[in-house]
Amino acid sequence: MSLHGNHLIAGQRVAPEGLTFVAINPSTSQPLEPAFGDATEAQIDAALNAAEAAFDGLRAATPEVRATFLELLGEKIVGLGDALLERAHAETGLPMARLTGERGRAVGQCKLFAHMIREGSWSQASIDHAIPDRQPLPKPDVRRVLQPIGPVVVFGASNFPFAIGVVGTDTVCAMAAGCSVVVKGHPAHPGTCEMLSGAVYEALAETGLPAGSFSLVHGKSNEMGAALVRHPLTNAVAFTGSLKGGRALFDIAAARPSPIPFYGEMGSINPVFLLPGALKARATQIAEGYVGSVTMGVGQFCTNPALVLGVGGAELDSFVQAAADAAEKAAPATMLHAGIRSAYCEGTAAIASIEGIEIAGQSGTDPSDEATQAECVIFSTDLATLEANESLRSEVFGPCSIITRCSSKDDLLRFARTLEGQLTATIHGTPEDLLEHADLIRVLERKAGRIIFNGFPTGIEVCPSMHHGGPYPAASHSFFTSIGTGSIYRFVRPVCYQGFPDESLPELLKGTNTRGSMRLVDGALTKSDA
């Protein structure tokens, strides 16, 4: 497939202007053709005006049509074949097996949302019938359902080019809800973004949906991203990335004359708590799984377990030694791009320079600069050092982690109370440990969006029960998830209809329940007619 390097606005190629950039193959440090360029203000304006013009047509399409679009999109993604995987591999350095699995996840998300919107219960339709003879005042007929909010801007992630990118959860759930989307492609893999955008347009055309329902604009500058958030036709923003970048865009969204929701997933250190029973029974097994989680994807996951805490003693010593042994066997691997590797090297060097920090274990071979590689580094320290150095609680994106020795159960609890918001928190223990540390669990319920027992946070199941978010700074709003079917609720809002005749109501609020959706009728959940 020949790439052209243009923006794609409502299905039309629009040539870049001004400064251009190219993707770099991180495995070889060689540039990849073609060149791309930042979208201008006029091009951003054109994309969002097209999205606004398409919105009414997209939201008016039946759930069946939108579901068919999503299923077709999944087929088109697969139809790109090995060429898509090869380009993504060249731009990201991610192994082909990982990319193949991630493509499957992206296709699975399309099918998942298609099924959900066909069934309809997600819309939370609620009907309260009128009681005209109620005393002292009559009760009106009141009905409520969730409606799409309008054009949405999506910032693709660097570490998941398929599943959290152009055709990732943000785009798919927004379009499932009936929102048009403008995607800012990630500059580290613009060719992959272009290929996936072609799949979107093919699916739109085959289902008769407006081409303006989707646009892709490229860009590397911070100002270009800011312009997308500031644009008056942007109704919400979805972002996955760093805290620094996310907070800057969040502030712009809040400072607009008409503020808009900004749904940022901004990472965390994902603490792991090792309880006594688990350490005594399986310290080596846990350590091996832990290092496997730290090094998965070269540590380039927002759920990377960057901090471990346990009460010092022979069992924790065994854990540290087993982790060190596993780290030595972990070969250096290519990171997504040179900027991420540079930040990782600076971050690990800064940790190593702190008094009271030791390197417990690291990869047994040196990383290659030309191949943009990073080595695994496992640090160890004590709680006093951790508490005295605020920087140790900041995310270092990559395959490193800090094991911290505590003196008592109370130390674990005290530190947990000082944690900022996290995407995840993990507990390794026995059922008896859980009972003895119930107060720790209660604290973590206030700190994290997902709590894992006897597992590791990397690897996220895409399902209705998943919550990928957490209190700030892990996410900008702890109620919403960026993975799983619940992500759709970021891009809808409730609309209440009072006194409308049946024929003028939205389908899910009519008396006849044609889709068999679950609805709340006069306070009772039912699939019956109202």
What whole-number distance in Å separates Cα of residue 517 and Cα of residue 510? Answer: 12
Q: Is the per-residue pLDDT at 14 higher than 80?
A: yes
In the set 302, 376, 400, 406, the catalytic residue is 302
Q: Angle formed by the axes of helices 409-418 and 438-447, to 10°?
A: 10
β-sheet bridge partners, residue 49? none
Residue ranges in 134-242 assigned as alpha helix (H):
169-177, 190-207, 222-230
CB atoms within 10 A of CB 205: 13
The predicted-structure confidence for 96-106, as pLDDT tens digits, reads as follows 999 999 999 99
Degrees to nearest 5, angle at CA 433 with 426 and 436: 115
Q: Is the per-residue pLDDT at 130 higher than 90?
A: yes
What whole-number distance in Å separates Cα of residue 448 and Cα of residue 307? Answer: 14
Strands 126-128 and 519-521: parallel
pLDDT of residue 151: 98
Nearest CA to 111 among 61, 68, 47, 63? 68
pLDDT of residue 5: 96
What whole-number distance in Å separates Cα of residue 418 and Cα of residue 28? Answer: 43
400 flagged as catalytic: no
The predicted-structure confidence for 379-409, as pLDDT tens digits, reads as follows 999 999 999 999 999 999 999 999 999 999 9
pLDDT of residue 518: 98
pLDDT of residue 345: 98
In the set 71, 91, 265, 395, the catalytic residue is 265
Structure tokens at 507: 């389908």
Peptide bond before 431: cis, by omega within 30 degrees of 0?
no
pLDDT of residue 20: 86
β-sheet bridge partners, residue 153? 182, 237
Give the pLDDT mean for 434-457: 98
Give the pLDDT mean for 447-465: 97
Give the pLDDT mean for 352-370: 97
pLDDT of residue 155: 98
Give the pLDDT mean for 279-307: 97
- What pLDDT band is residue 281 in, cutting at 50, 70 and 90? very high
pLDDT of residue 204: 98
Taking the alpha carbons of 464, 465, 466, 468 in that order, is the dihedral positive or negative? positive
Nearest CA to 179 among 55, 270, 67? 55
Q: Is the per-residue pLDDT at 267 higher than 90?
A: no
What whole-number distance in Å separates Cα of residue 492 and Cα of residue 150? Answer: 9
What phi-psi label fits residue 392: left (phi over 0), alpha (psi between -120 and 50 degrees) or beta? alpha
CB atoms within 10 A of CB 257: 6
Domain definitions of the chain by residue range: 9-22+34-131+138-266+481-490, 271-453
406 flagged as catalytic: no
What whole-number distance in Å separates Cα of residue 289 and Cα of residue 135? Answer: 66
Q: Is the per-residue pLDDT at 1 higher than 90?
A: no
Q: Is the per-residue pLDDT at 136 higher than 80?
A: yes
How much of the chain exceeds pLDDT 90, in percent? 99
Mean pLDDT of the chain: 97
How much of the chain exceeds pLDDT 70, in percent? 100
Structure tokens at 386: 């951790």
Task: Supply the CATH classification number for the domain 9-22+34-131+138-266+481-490.
Answer: 3.40.605.10
**Residue 70 half-sphere exposure, CB side, CA atoms within 13 Å?**
31
Structure tokens at 77: 């993604």
Give the pLDDT mean for 330-349: 98
What whole-number distance in Å separates Cα of residue 284 and Cα of residue 277? Answer: 13
pLDDT of residue 316: 98
CATH T-level topology, domain 271-453: Aldehyde Dehydrogenase; Chain A, domain 2 (3.40.309)
pLDDT of residue 105: 97
The predicted-structure confidence for 189-231, as pLDDT tens digits, reads as follows 999 999 999 999 999 999 999 999 999 999 999 999 999 999 9
pTM above 0.85, yes or no: yes
Task: Give the CA dihedral 211, 212, 218, 222, nearest 10 degrees.
Answer: -160
pLDDT of residue 64: 97
3-state class (DSSP) for residue 510: coil
**Secondary structure (DSSP) of 3-40:** ----EEETTEEE---S-EEEEEETTTTEEEEEEEEPPP
CB atoms within 10 A of CB 227: 23
Q: Is the per-residue pLDDT at 462 higher than 90?
A: yes
C-alpha Rg value of the chain to the nearest Å: 25
pLDDT of residue 18: 75
Burial 467-482 (b: 16+ CB within 10 A, else e): bbbbbebbbbebebbb
